[in-house]
Amino acid sequence: MMHHTSSPWSRRKWLTSLAALGLGSGFSARAATPANAWHSSYAPFDAPNFAGYLRTDRLPVQGQLPAALRGTLYRNGPARFGREKSRLTHWFDGDGMLQALRINDGQVSHQGRILNTPKTAQEGAAGRFLYGNFGSAPANSLTATAPDTINLANINLLPMEQGRKLYALWEAGSALEVSPDTLQSHGFKVWSPETAGAPFSAHPRVAPDGSVWNFGSLVGSGKLLIYQITSNGQLKRQTVISVPNADMVHDFAITERHLVFLLQPLKFEHTAEPLPNLLAGMRWDSQAPMIACVVAMADWRTTMIELPNSGLFHLGNAFERGDRIHLSYVHHHDILSTMKSFDVSPEASQPVQLASVWTDAELHPASRRAVVHPAPLAQVEFPRFDLRRTGRPQQITIMLQRSQALAALPVMGFDSLVVLNGERTERHTYGEGWLVEEHLYVPHPNRTEEKAGWVLGTAYHWPSEKTTLSVFNAAQISAGPVAQVQLPYGLPLGLHGQFVPS
């Protein structure tokens, strides 16, 4: 049965919110110091003569790629921050670039393409950035007429139908359909007439049966739009719920019977004058609780539970045991300061502010209670796990960690891989000169136990200005990678990725 939303809310509210914001393959190597290590990975993509496309058909492999590891690691992230007449200053605001690292028969190739959206087309013709977005404020910004006018498609990816479909995801607009083979963009996906142009979050969750759950939110609405999509890409149900703390909802989790949203007290304050970007209107309430909103999949019934004050980007997995819901997340002490420090200006010189702690929580919906257990694991982010275990207990959790050595430098990012394997914690530190991107779990195609799989991820080496793909045995992280593949160039430091087996 389809649950319809009323068009007055879905259209007028979004446009009012946007108006209130005023949102109207050759590389030249150069020495990279710690102060500009982050920026050196973006410089080639800001060059006016960059064609927007990279390709290397055969990359050298050091070590031994597992014979059973076959498929494509797709990654997405902000890439272009400069145009001829203007520059963006916040990491979240760069034009999206899709990477594809294809592994087959012990060989690896790479493709990379700047994604084509209405925004990139309009700004390319103008030769400058035209719109403010999350944290950047270009001069003489225009007012956006709809969310997809400024859709960057630069955060994550959603493969569907056994990899035959691929969508690049943003935060406040539609999913962008792209070709899994050519990485060409094919326009925004419309799941239903009622949700055309509606927000579609960058962190959908795929249940073990292949069904996709997702949500959409937009600043100032006080609402979450919830989607249930079948494994073959058909919208099955949709609804809208009213929630507190809805101004920045980036991620959520699912169990076998519930959706779980952790709603942080980060709120947008509307002003009489248009603001240059979203971040300028955000305010953090350090005294207010975080709210867990538990939504029953069967009938959309909601239960609100208070948790200690917390900022939040990402959750790990969640599962039910009896009448309790167990979940994990990365707690941020001051998430607003963290977001403000994601400065990608070439002259940026201050270290990123990162006060994060891996945290376990136990929710008791019947009594509306929560028990929270911080773990002794700090300066972490980007949790991943075996997606076959979504909504069910799992053994392995993968994260990135920022060492004290890196934290002392004016460089954003992480340099270590941390894997929780039951009661055991394993770590691999890439070492001096490395900035590590999100690593993810890839299951063995013929075995169900988690320890049989692999951990894959990319890292940027700033002294050589090259990106490397590393492959680890999931149960032996501390032993180091079993294989590494170095690209002949550096890739922009991205956000999230997905692996599609072949």
- List, for residues 103-133, the tens digit of each pLDDT value: 999 999 999 999 999 999 999 999 999 999 9
Query: According to the model, what pLDDT value does residue 349 have?
Result: 65
As a whole number of Å, the end-to-end CA separation of the chain is: 35
Nearest to 284 by CA among 267, 261, 301: 267
Q: Helix, strand or coil for residue 374?
A: strand
**Span 258-267, average pLDDT:** 97
Query: According to the model, what pLDDT value does residue 27 have?
Result: 37
- Are 500 and 490 within 8 A, CB to CB? no
Is 50 exceeded by the pLDDT of residue 435?
yes
> What CATH topology corresponds to 7-24+27-501?
Methylamine Dehydrogenase; Chain H (2.130.10)
Query: According to the model, what pLDDT value does residue 18 have?
Result: 35
**Span 91-103, average pLDDT:** 97
**Span 418-423, average pLDDT:** 94
Tell me how far CA of residue 472 lies from CA of 88, 107, 418, 461, in angstroms.
Answer: 35, 16, 12, 18
**Span 135-155, average pLDDT:** 94
- DSSP assignment string, 397-454: EEEEE--HHHHTSS--SB-EEEEEETTEEEEEE--TTEEEEEEEEE--TT--SGGGSE
Query: According to the model, what pLDDT value does residue 346 have?
Result: 78
Query: According to the model, what pLDDT value does residue 273 have?
Result: 82
Q: Helix, strand or coil for residue 17?
A: helix
**Span 405-429, average pLDDT:** 91
- Amino acid letter, 381: E
Query: According to the model, what pLDDT value does residue 270 have?
Result: 82
- Amino acid letter, 285: D
**Span 74-90, average pLDDT:** 94
**Span 298-303, average pLDDT:** 98
Q: Give the lowest-confidence range in 39-53, 64-78, 196-210.
A: 39-53
Is 50 exceeded by the pLDDT of residue 281?
yes
- Amino acid letter, 104: N
Is 80 exceeded by the pLDDT of residue 350?
no
**Span 125-149, average pLDDT:** 93
**Average pLDDT across the chain, whole number:** 91
Question: Which residues lie closer than 8 Å to 398 by C-beta, 6 or more apart?
Answer: 383, 384, 385, 417, 418, 419, 439, 440, 441, 455
**Span 153-164, average pLDDT:** 97
- Are 208 and 226 within 8 A, CB to CB? no
pLDDT digits (tens, 9 = 90+) for 219-257: 888 999 999 999 999 999 999 999 999 999 999 999 999
Query: According to the model, what pLDDT value does residue 271 have?
Result: 82
Q: Helix, strand or coil for residue 49?
A: coil
Query: According to the model, what pLDDT value does residue 275 have?
Result: 86
pLDDT digits (tens, 9 = 90+) for 8-53: 334 344 334 333 333 333 333 444 566 678 788 888 898 888 999 9
- Are 166 and 179 within 8 A, CB to CB? yes
User: Which DSSP symbol is given to 502?
Assistant: -
- Are 435 and 460 within 8 A, CB to CB? yes
Determine the distance from the C-alpha atom of residue 45 to the mean position of all C-alpha atoms in its chain, rounded to a whole number.
20
Report residue 53 as tokens. Answer: 């496309």
Q: Give the lowest-confidence range in 64-68, 299-303, 350-354, 477-481.
A: 350-354
